[in-house]
Amino acid sequence: MASSNATPVVTVFLRHHGEVLLFRRSDDVDSYPGQWSAVTGHVEDQDPRASALQEIEEETGLQEHDVTFAQQGTAFTVEDSDRDTPWQVHPFLFDADTRSIKTNWETAEAEWDSPTVMLRRDTVPDLWTSYRRVAPSILGVTNDTTHGSAYLSLRALEVLRDRAGMLATTDGAGIEDARSRLVATAHRLLEARPSMAALANRLHRVMHTSRPELSPITVETNAHEAIQGALAADANAAAQAAAQIGGAHVLTLSHSGTVLDALQRADPAPTVTIAVSAPGGEGVEVAERLANAGLDVTLLPDAAGARRLSEGSIDAMLVGADTVRPSGGIVNKVGTYGAALAAHRADVPVYAACATDKIAVKDDASTDESAPMQSVYNGPVDLTVWAPRFDTTPPDLITGGILTERGALSPSEVPAVAEELAGLRTWM
């Protein structure tokens, strides 16, 4: 709880590729010289968020368009007995588009690293507490209906890494107790989004490579390395897709980080038509981001996709995949199946872009997640609403192939990869 007489300040964590920006404060600052911190500063005009953005610019040189708001944590009070000063801390997390920063006189040293290094350093008071209030959580992974599975798999790995880091630096925690807690965390994350194979495969890989002890320090290290490996796989899959769509008119839908990356990388730049992607409407944000990046973008209602395909202006359909079934079918945002049917009729190739970690090991992966009833109907009549989040597009409709970090896979090549991924589950 925030104290009414405390000085309001912001603590801002910038995240890039699973790591956060940390500063060692210079000897010239009045408060906490030599200690590690994040972007910090006083709250001006009783506006913490505006103050956070101002401090980002002053301490890193990054502008508002260089960062994306991710989370604001609940304010809390830090009682600094050494300085006899109470601070009302407002924590923030932003995702940074770049690691290229320009520090000012307040900073002696800056580095991007795993947040868990804070647990082993001399930091300003309660820096880890600030981070925990904006860090990814199991509940956040469960309830996030905006981002795709690649993004959420990274957040799940961060949750596991942070938990392992805490256990690795906690005195008195026996190895058996720590192992039990880590296993419980892994299982809860696996249960959070059962339809997302990438999340499961990446968690299983960390636990598998941490055998036999499953010690916190090993899990922490392997989870951090897995984040970097996952990012590389996703980027390479995007590069494969970008090579297919340069200069084309592409139809897409929903929010796939891999597809978004591919569309922005492709050269020449593609023309993009994107569906709103109800329920949820995440296609709107993607359309805005692509338009702001300078692409020629058309946003249309989901029901208009078939007509646009039938008119002959679309060269290719490119979608992400929350899961690839062992049969080669694609589990993705609802509406993908219908659009693929229309593309097939219009003789438009359909590509799915994703890392191979999105391949499920069993063909019974759940697609039963539902959107809130209110996202479809919020009226007074007692009626039944069916609002699935996902559908499955059969492999024969993925005519262009599945574009991965290993190259293009045909449906017949998917079972061998599924068998390989199944071997990661032996840790259980």
Q: Model confidence over 83-94: pLDDT tens digits?
A: 778 999 999 999
Query: What does the pLDDT read at residue 154?
Result: 97
The pLDDT of 96-107, averaged and rounded, is: 96
- Looking at the chain, the whole-number percentage of residues with pLDDT higher than 70 is 97
The pLDDT of 74-81, averaged and rounded, is: 90
Nearest to 348 by CA among 261, 245, 267: 245
For domain 236-362+388-427, give the fold.
Rossmann fold (3.40.50)
Helix (H) or strand (E) holding 76: strand 76-80
For 124, which DSSP code?
S
Distance CA 346, CA 302 (A): 17
Q: What is the DSSP secondary-structure string of 31-47?
A: SSTT-EE-EEEE--TT-
Phi and psi angles of residue 123, each rounded to the nearest 5 degrees, phi first: -115, 165
Distance CA 126, CA 373 (A): 41
Cis peptide before 86 (omega within 30 of 0): no
Phi and psi angles of residue 295, each rounded to the nearest 5 degrees, phi first: -85, 155
> Among 50-64, 82-96, 118-132, 228-242, whose mean pLDDT is lowest?
82-96
* Residue that the structure tokens 């899959």 belong to: 237
β-pairing, 401-404 vs 350-353, is parallel
Phi and psi angles of residue 178, each rounded to the nearest 5 degrees, phi first: -65, -45
Between residues 194 and 368, the one the model is more confident about: 194
Please report, as a single letter, which amino acid is at residue 301: P
CATH class of 138-233: mainly alpha
Q: Give the three-class secondary structure for 284.
A: helix
CATH 3.40.50.10470 intervals, the chain: 236-362+388-427
* Residue that the structure tokens 């368009």 belong to: 65
Q: How sure is the predictor about 173, in pLDDT bands with cuts at 50, 70 and 90?
A: low
Burial annotation 13-35 (CB, 10 A radius, 16+ → b, else e): bbbbebbbbbbbbeeebeebeeb
Q: How sure is the predictor about 1, in pLDDT bands with cuts at 50, 70 and 90?
A: very low
CATH 1.20.120.420 intervals, the chain: 138-233
Report the phi/psi class of residue 126: left, alpha or beta, with left for phi > 0 and alpha for psi in -120 to 50.
left
Indicate whether 105 pLDDT > 50. Answer: yes
Distance CA 15, CA 227 (A): 13
Please report, as a single letter, which amino acid is at residue 201: N
Q: Give the three-class secondary structure for 209.
A: helix
Distance CA 371, CA 375 (A): 7
Convert the pLDDT of each residue in 136-171 to its tens digit: 999 999 999 888 888 999 999 999 999 999 999 986
Convert the pLDDT of each residue in 281-298 to its tens digit: 999 999 999 999 999 999
Q: What is the pTM of this model?
A: 0.86
Distance CA 187, CA 161 (A): 14
Helix (H) or strand (E) holding 254: none
Question: Would you give the end-to-end CA distance of the chain in angstroms?
Answer: 40
Choose which CATH entry (3.40.50.300, 3.30.1370.100, 3.90.79.10, 3.30.930.10) describes domain 7-132. Answer: 3.90.79.10
CATH 3.90.79.10 intervals, the chain: 7-132
> Among 124-138, 164-178, 289-303, 320-334, whose mean pLDDT is lowest?
164-178
